[in-house]
Structure 1
Amino acid sequence: MTPPAAASPDDGYLLDNARSEAGARFDALRELFDSSTFRHIDELGIAPGWRCWEVGAGGTSVVNWLAGRVGTAGRVLATDIDTSWACDAAGGVVDVLRHDVGRDRSPGGAGFDLVHARLVLVHVADRQRALRMMTESLRPGGLLLVEDADPALQPLICLDEHGPEQVLANKLRSGFRALLAARGADLAYGRKLPRLLREAGLTGVRADAYFPIASAACDVLEAATVRQVRDHLVAAGLATDEDIDRHLANVASGRLDLATSPMISAWGRRPAEPGPA
């Protein structure tokens, strides 16, 4: 396993993995989305001996689960712009590499049985290049699973906006979306995935969506996210410190019934190479 490395300050991503709030965000994302991700990968037929690439791993929950599925005969490559979490990755099966899928060259040739990215490409400026790299990294017959948010499809964090607490929550969510858009995020990216996978040449493309509502993990995710972007919200005039303090207190009360943006999962297969004539 390669030594961990920290992300540089000019990586440009709003939700910097080096920030102290990142751990709470990863824990909440794991609780909210791992079961859906694991179901999809199991249904795609993952088996011992597979070679997998986890793009933008961000943490170890998916990486270590993949390692358990592929066993000692397989390999898992886990990449991210910040690999400080790497010491918790499963030894012997997992290789960790600092890599920016939006900027760097392919890290592993064209031999992966499975390439997976979750909540990654929506934040990448050159998404087209990244998706092409991921597709070209598949072996013939290999599978690509991309799971990404679509904040524009459902822009509210409080679906039941029945009082001032919910109005404030949705105001801050609107501000957060504005910050993401200013960093180049495509807030309508999730819905495009089926078309983009077909245009990339994949076959058998399918998709579905997962949409947690009123989970304790939604509260944890929101509090960590708002704390992480607090200075950006205030500097951009999108919220005041008083707004943010009041909202964090409201979240802590557990009465807001928070939601997440829909996560759209899309998958397809690289066509097998034709046999000899």
Structure 2
Amino acid sequence: MTSSPDLPEGYLLDNARAEAGERFVWLAELFDGVTLGHVDRLGIGPGSRCWEVGAGGPGVPEALAATVGPTGYVLATDIDHSWLREGDGYEVRRHDVAADPPPEPGTFDLVHARLVLVHLPDRARALAAMVAALRPGGWLLVEDADTALQPLACLDDSGPAQRRANRLRDAVRELMTRRGANLRFGRTLPGALRAAGLVDVAASGSFPVGGPACDHLEAATIRHVRDELLTAGLTDTTEIDAHLTAINAGELDLTLAPLISTWGRRPSGH
């Protein structure tokens, strides 16, 4: 699908707005435990070298820094790293994983990206850069949504507020598609990691249903893309305001697309 001429190009949920900081907080609340559980299971610990790609907020870099300790190293990169805090045990660099060469190729025990590749037009190049950064035996952990796998905001759409929430989720999905996001990307990750030459590839899925963190994330997301939704003619102010009121009233059991976590190891000697 081509982009509307009325809409700007680029990442829909960019880091430049205040709502991005709110989204980082609630994404961390919802998914950091999932991510760090995988990190621990992959054997990342004191002395490990880690690259956090498209870090966004500070949650995962800080946790990785605590995991690897003073003998390890954590590099956090993003195109816009304004939400990252240099000096909290990790290094911060501006880096475009889909355009720039990988930092320190062949040296990382773990390369991790969460909710990054789904938004990139050149996902294959970004994935190749991450694989190139791994040392032999190092692990790549990629976590991305598969919005088409579970497209609803409310699984129980029995009332008008729930159906409105689902209409607005459809509108946000439409905006993402126009910006080049692949809403079926998560399910392709195991095959993509195998095609990149990684071994011991496996995956799992996770998504929360209901609770304050889902409510806060939904509200921040809708405020973030409000102007784009209106410009595209996908909704109106009355519908958006009614949805935000229902969220604030705690009337909705909101959920997200499944987060597909996929991991693979660079073969020893490669």
TM-score (norm 1): 0.92
Partner of residue 32, structure 1: 30
| Superimposed CA distance per residue, residues 223-248 of structure 1 (whole angstroms, 9 cap, x where no aligned partner) | 00000000000111100011101110
Partner of residue 5, structure 2: none
Partner of residue 7, structure 1: none
Deviation at 1:48, TM superposition (A): 1.1
Q: Distance in 1 between matches of 2:87 and 2:151?
A: 34
In the alignment, is the contact (CA less than 8 A) between 1:60 and 1:88 conserved in 2? no
Specify which of 102, 110, 117 is matched with residue 113 of structure 2. 117
Unaligned segments of structure 2, at least 5 residues: 1-7
Letter of the 2:179 partner, please give it. Answer: R
Letter of the 2:152 partner, please give it. Answer: L
Partner of residue 238, structure 2: 242
Residues 149-160 of structure 1 mapped to structure 2, 5 A cutoff: 149-160=145-156
Question: What is the DSSP-based 3-state SS (H/G/I as helix, E as strand, rest coil) of the residue aligned with 1:96?
Answer: strand
Q: Distance in 1 between matches of 2:176 and 2:156?
A: 24
Partner of residue 133, structure 1: 129
Residues 171-210 of structure 1 mapped to structure 2, 5 A cutoff: 171-210=167-206
Unaligned segments of structure 1, at least 5 residues: 1-9
RMSD, aligned CA? 1.2
Deviation at 1:101, TM superposition (A): 1.3
In the alignment, is the contact (CA less than 8 A) between 2:53 and 2:78 conserved in 1? yes
Inter-CA distance 136–85: structure 2 relative to 1 (3 Å threshold): same
Deviation at 1:75, TM superposition (A): 0.6
Partner of residue 17, structure 2: 19
Letter of the 1:210 partner, please give it. Answer: S
In the alignment, is the contact (CA less than 8 A) between 1:158 and 1:169 conserved in 2? yes
Whether 1:145 aligns to 2:147 is: no
Q: Distance in 1 between matches of 2:135 and 2:9?
A: 30
Partner of residue 271, structure 1: 267
Letter of the 2:182 partner, please give it. Answer: D
Letter of the 1:109 partner, please give it. Answer: P
TM-score (norm 2): 0.95
Q: Distance in 2 between matches of 1:261 and 1:88?
A: 31
Deviation at 1:267, TM superposition (A): 0.2
Deviation at 1:11, TM superposition (A): 7.9
Whether 1:169 aligns to 2:144 is: no
| Superimposed CA distance per residue, residues 119-172 of structure 1 (whole angstroms, 9 cap, x where no aligned partner) | 111011100110011011100110000000000000101110001101110111
Q: Distance in 2 between matches of 1:120 and 1:201?
A: 21
Specify which of 56, 59, 76 is matched with residue 58 of structure 1. 56
Aligned residue-pair number: 263
Q: Distance in 2 between matches of 1:121 and 1:219?
A: 25
User: Identity percentage over the alignment?
Assistant: 59
Letter of the 2:257 partner, please give it. Answer: S
Specify which of 51, 76, 79 is matched with residue 78 of structure 1. 76
In the alignment, is the contact (CA less than 8 A) between 1:145 and 1:268 conserved in 2? yes
